[in-house]
Structure 1
Amino acid sequence: AERFMIEFVSAMRRNEGMEFKASLREADLLMVDDIQFIVGKNSTQEEFLHTVDSLISQGKRVVVAADRPPQALDGVDQRLLSRLSMGLVADIQSAGLELRRDILKHRLATMPHQHVSEEVVEFLARTISRNLRELEGGLNKLLAYAQLTGREISRELAEEQLSDILSACRRRITIDEIQRTVCEYYRLDRNEMSSKRRARAVARPRQVAMYLAKVMTPRSYPEIGRKFGGRDHSTVIHAVKLVEHLRGEDSEMDNDVRMLLRQLES
């Protein structure tokens, strides 16, 4: 929208208004972002209205984006408001986990010389969730640092180099919250998270909860062990590795973990 306004004003000053109009009205598709930028600027709004009308009358397509819905744009010309409201109005939500994961994989596919493991991709996609610019910026920073230093791109390196981004993005999920959610999902008594029972129906959910505690919180293995009835850190390491392995071998386990992650992230 800013570019539209600047080019329109410049064209008027150079007496090239007709050329400016023609360049836009010959387009098959016009996409304008941040339309709120021209709200209140009467001459620019007027020209944009005429451009939209011309394109629509030719059966062309117009896509407009703003930081709020048309009816919430204060100061917009009522004629322009009616045009913006007549089409499909969609609320664009934040990118979900699957989309964030796909964006990272697509970006890496264009750089075959860079190797980033599935674990790191999953970690970045889950942790950097506020916006896509931050996600791509974090990946670029990680790749650049690894290239300059020759270090392997690992989760440890990502946590080290992206600590500022990660700390800002992480929702403070607690181990207590994880245990409660896992017990509700598997219909277990909360006390089973700390009990000594080794029956598979109890041990496997407990291992899943340990895995989630490691993935979703900054707690160390010993700290996690203490929250699960004072278990040794080696028990937690075993649980994390086991669940990681099972997710690759058992679709039901992978589905359970995905469902729990979604519940906790929401």
Structure 2
Amino acid sequence: MSEPDPATVWHRFRGELRKAVNESTWHIWLERIGFRELDGTTIVLDAPDDVRGWAQSRFARVLNACAETVVGPGATVRFAAPDEVPAPAVRREPAPRATAPAPALNPRLTFDQFVIGESNRLAHAAALAVAETPGLAYNPLFICGPPGLGKTHLLHSIANYVHEHGGGMTARYTTAETFTDHFVAALQNGDMDAFKAAYRGVDVLLVDDVQFLARRAKTEQEFFHTFNVLHQAGAQLVLTSDRLPRDMDALEDRLRERFEAGLVCDVRPADRATRLTILRKRVAQDDVGEVDPQALELIADRVDANIRALEGALIRVIAFGSLTGRPVTAELAAEVLAGLYPELSKKKAPPTITEIQEGTCEAFGVSMDALLSASRTQPAAFARQVAMYLARELTGATLPTIGRAFGNRNHTTVLHACRRTTERMASDREAYEAVHSLLRSLGGH
């Protein structure tokens, strides 16, 4: 029996370990563990001083179980001492491999764990539809949007759903980069038959980041033929990109046309409510202990770039609290975010309706009583319209909620106020400057 390849052992061991623990444990403690060598059936690991002791005492059983899964019964794990010199490496010729295994699916990325909001509702519904009826609902399904907004989560969710409920159907997840690497390896090793079988013999093919196929003529051509074979056979194709098909100028027209032939939908940055739900769900899922709700609100307010950054900020705050023995409060979150993301310290939380009313009263020189009254005299009437307009622009409040905050007015009154303010700003330069000055003072754009 051939000796196991250390690189393969480490790759599989790391994958098994990540699946065996929750995400916060992985990121806080185990992600920084490195590979030293494979000593017979013992996986020798490296770890920083602040991780080694904790991992040895708390995760020994999990580590050894993962080793047995990868290497075989009786396999163990040990941590190298800080001053231990690694054994001389044995030079080995790598075995040619035309088609490496597909990227492993993350079992945690499912539809149940996907947080739905206005920014991703269509993409989620479409992904669920193709998972339930592959090849019949939308084919192909093309999901586009900036990085970190959940496109990969949806692809893994589809694949996991098909594997669990598909009645024997097969799904393969890959990235454009991996597809390219496999194709090049197959060409070099003269093993195109195995390559074609791996990608064309599935019921569902999911390809992440197809924009990276651009300017790779041979790979593009092979993907075009793979696409056609699968589509004609009734197999489902799901593709993601950071841009719309029509904006992928470097791709061949015939490939762009096929991408646009099905349903094209986008994902956008999550709103505050969705970000807060994501954080709450992550805390509950990872069972990280007591977290002050105000800490989550602060993170949701300040980290709005993408979901990946949002979850990363949460993990860092929890890790800091765990390592220092401090409770995860809003004060701790502000301290950690200020240190790790200095640019975030300048960001203000969205103003409340009351803060908008107070700022408007000060800017227009009217009292709060006048602002909330039924008076239609100027400047109270225009100030009231501006405050309603800003409440709609700067908060997530509904029109009825805004109306109640302004003396129990109905939503049509609020909508009229927003229209009147917009019209006056378009025709009156002084009104435009006054509103935008107030907008900036309240932290808007």
Which TM-score applies when normalising by structure 1?
Answer: 0.66
Cα deviation digits, residues 170-227 of structure 1 (max 9, x gap): 546898x977843699x999445xx6x789x69xxxxxx9xxxxxx9xxxxxxxxxxx
Structure 2 CA distance for aligned equivalents of residues 66 and 168 of structure 1: 28
Matched, 1:141 2:316: yes
Aligned CA distance change for structure 1 residues 52 and 184 (closer, same or farther; 3 Å) = farther
Structure 2 CA distance for aligned equivalents of residues 108 and 121 of structure 1: 9
Residue equivalent to 2:290: 115
Aligned CA distance change for structure 1 residues 189 and 159 (closer, same or farther; 3 Å) = closer
**Superposition RMSD in Å:** 3.8
Residue equivalent to 2:37: none
Aligned CA distance change for structure 1 residues 170 and 90 (closer, same or farther; 3 Å) = farther
Contact 1:179-1:190 at 8 Å conserved across structures: no
Contact 1:178-1:264 at 8 Å conserved across structures: no
Cα deviation digits, residues 144-175 of structure 1 (max 9, x gap): 11111110101010110111426348546898
Aligned CA distance change for structure 1 residues 162 and 48 (closer, same or farther; 3 Å) = same
- Say which structure is richer in helix: 1
- Report which structure shows greater RCO (CA 8 Å, sep ≥6): 2
Aligned residues: 209
Matched, 1:43 2:218: yes
Residue equivalent to 2:341: 165
Aligned to 1:130, the other structure's residue is in SS state coil
Question: Which of residues 128, 139, 152 in structure 1 aligns to 2:303?
Answer: 128
Structure 2 CA distance for aligned equivalents of residues 35 and 27 of structure 1: 18
Cα deviation digits, residues 27-81 of structure 1 (max 9, x gap): 2322222212111111100111111112212222212222221112122112111
Which TM-score applies when normalising by structure 2?
Answer: 0.41
Aligned to 2:237, the other structure's residue is in SS state strand
Greater C-alpha Rg: 2
Identity %: 31
- Say which structure is richer in strand: 2
Residue equivalent to 2:138: none
Question: Which of residues 145, 151, 154 in structure 1 aligns to 2:329?
Answer: 154
Which residues in structure 2 correspond to 1:31-70 (within 5 Å)?
Answer: 31-70=206-245
Which residues in structure 2 correspond to 1:212-231 (within 5 Å)?
Answer: none
Residue equivalent to 1:11: 186
Gaps of 5+ in 2: 1-175, 374-386, 388-393, 395-399, 406-441
Matched, 1:97 2:272: yes
Structure 2 CA distance for aligned equivalents of residues 90 and 81 of structure 1: 15
Structure 1 CA distance for aligned equivalents of residues 290 and 353 of structure 2: 32
Aligned to 1:63, the other structure's residue is in SS state strand
Contact 2:186-2:192 at 8 Å conserved across structures: yes
Deviation at 1:3, TM superposition (A): 0.9
Instruction: Look up the equivalent residue of 1:148 and give its one-letter code.
Output: L
Aligned to 2:291, the other structure's residue is in SS state coil
Structure 1 CA distance for aligned equivalents of residues 290 and 350 of structure 2: 32
Aligned to 1:32, the other structure's residue is in SS state strand
Cα deviation digits, residues 99-147 of structure 1 (max 9, x gap): 2122212211122242212222122112210111211111111111111
Contact 1:128-1:165 at 8 Å conserved across structures: no
Gaps of 5+ in 1: 203-208, 210-215, 217-250, 257-262
Aligned CA distance change for structure 1 residues 145 and 173 (closer, same or farther; 3 Å) = closer
Residue equivalent to 1:182: 357
Contact 2:348-2:443 at 8 Å conserved across structures: no
